[in-house]
């Protein structure tokens, strides 16, 4: 499973780069890996002057991994990473400066026990932090409502071969309406059974919402596949906040599912496809006005999307790919506007991206 492989690499339990080669610095245990990716992005509708297009660097990534010995090591991921989604309002925004994306120390007091502490990446979901680690360029709707990185600590216990348990506390913070949240707890099981990788996780944003996440992935013939299912529900504090804003009833739960299919036509050519459906409801006042759009932030009750990304890899360390994405909501979306400011219930996204990994 892609999420699990990525977390293992970041923890220093396998090669620092699962997707490319690794440079080992002379006279040191320090390993250097990373990538440079750039491309052309376009949308036909946005909330900022309608149609947009731009050239941009999507990732300048340098990852340092040091296994000082069998007991302690560290991971430091430095760079600039853009994470545009199918729902992004303005693709021309460049919100990330060069800096630390995530970094943490890994301690292994026992052979089957690892403690990671610092700014860590989440175990929730299927899509990984950098665009070049994923089959698609734009991040999906399901990813858009999941945690990404945060300051915290995680304990991972290898209970048996192909079975690990983890527990974490973190300071994942943000806001939702009038609610501010500052911490979260998570636990889960990650493993492999009958040749299929899986992860089942529970993530609790204290005072905000709860999330149950399920990921299953594998291969059948020349097709790689994965499914990511999320179920989320609000805490009482969040529901009461929405009621205080005038909602007569609160739709307090939501779910989303993403299906990933990657047919490999040849060793160098593949056509990744992502299909998504999200249902998050909405809360209205007595006049029928929308007070809250739901946990996925989508107007109306539901949305669906399809993303197709033909990819050519001339070498294992490089790629060029094109992408067409379509997303549809069941109500007009103010983020989907044409040049005249008219709102629509759908949008198209386009991209061409090239990348080199080392």
- Write the DSSP assignment of 161-172 as a string of letters: TTEEEEEEEE--
Burial class (CB in 10 A: 0-12, 13-18, 19+), 334: exposed
What are the pLDDT tens digits along the chain (358 aa)?
A: 444 433 333 333 333 334 444 566 665 678 899 999 999 999 999 987 789 999 999 999 999 998 756 789 999 999 999 899 998 867 887 666 789 999 999 999 998 999 999 999 999 999 999 999 999 999 999 999 999 999 999 999 999 999 999 999 999 999 988 889 999 999 999 999 999 999 999 999 999 999 999 999 999 999 999 999 999 999 999 988 888 888 888 889 999 999 999 999 999 999 999 999 999 988 888 877 888 888 998 888 999 999 999 999 999 999 999 999 999 999 998 889 998 889 999 999 999 999 999 9
Domain ranges in the chain are: 2-357
Beta pairing partners, 289: none
Q: What is the CATH T-level fold of the domain 2-357, as seen in this structure?
A: Porin (2.40.160)
119: its two tokens: 């700014």
* Dihedrals phi, psi of 70, to nearest 5 degrees: -75, -5
Helix (H) or strand (E) holding 273: strand 273-279
Q: List the Cα angle 54/17/267 in 5-degree steps.
A: 75
Query: Which residues touch 195 (CB under 8 Å, ≥6 apart)?
Result: 218
* Dihedrals phi, psi of 5, to nearest 5 degrees: -60, -45
């Amino acid at each position: 499973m892609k999420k699990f492989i990525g977390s293992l690499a970041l923890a220093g339990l396998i090669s620092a780069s699962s997707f490319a080669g690794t440079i080992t610095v002379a006279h040191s245990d320090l390993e250097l890996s990373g990538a440079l990716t750039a491309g052309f992005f376009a949308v036909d509708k946005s909330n900022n002057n309608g149609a947009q297009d731009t050239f941009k660097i999507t990732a300048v990534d340098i990852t340092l991994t040091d296994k000082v010995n069998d007991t302690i090591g560290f991971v430091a991921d430095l760079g600039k990473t853009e994470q545009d989604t199918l729902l992004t309002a303005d693709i021309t925004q460049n919100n990330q400066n060069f800096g630390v994306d995530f970094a943490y120390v890994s301690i292994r007091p026992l052979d089957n026990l690892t403690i990671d502490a610092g700014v860590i990446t989440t175990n929730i979901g299927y899509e990984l932090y950098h665009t070049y680690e994923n089959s698609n360029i734009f991040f999906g709707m399901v990813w858009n409502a999941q945690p990404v990185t945060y300051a915290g600590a995680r304990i991972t216990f290898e209970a048996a071969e192909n079975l690990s348990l983890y527990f974490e506390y973190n300071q994942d913070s943000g806001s939702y309406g009038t609610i501010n949240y500052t911490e979260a707890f998570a636990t889960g099981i990650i493993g492999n059974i009958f040749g299929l990788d899986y992860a089942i996780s529970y993530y609790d944003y204290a005072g905000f919402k709860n999330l149950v996440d399920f990921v299953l992935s594998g291969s059948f013939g020349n097709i790689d596949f994965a499914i990511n299912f999320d179920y989320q529900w609000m805490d009482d504090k969040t529901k009461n906040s929405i009621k205080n804003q005038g909602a007569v009833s609160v739709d307090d739960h939501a779910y989303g599912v993403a299906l990933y299919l990657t047919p490999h036509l040849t060793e160098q050519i593949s056509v990744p496809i992502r299909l998504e459906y999200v249902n998050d409801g909405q809360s209205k006042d007595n006049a029928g006005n929308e007070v809250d759009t739901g946990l996925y932030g989508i107007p109306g009750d539901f949305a669906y999307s399809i993303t197709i990304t033909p990819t050519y890899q001339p070498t294992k360390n490089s790629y060029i790919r094109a992408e067409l994405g379509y997303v549809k909501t069941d109500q007009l979306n103010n983020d989907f506007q044409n040049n005249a400011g008219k709102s629509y219930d759908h949008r198209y996204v386009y991209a061409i991206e090239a990348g080199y990994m080392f």
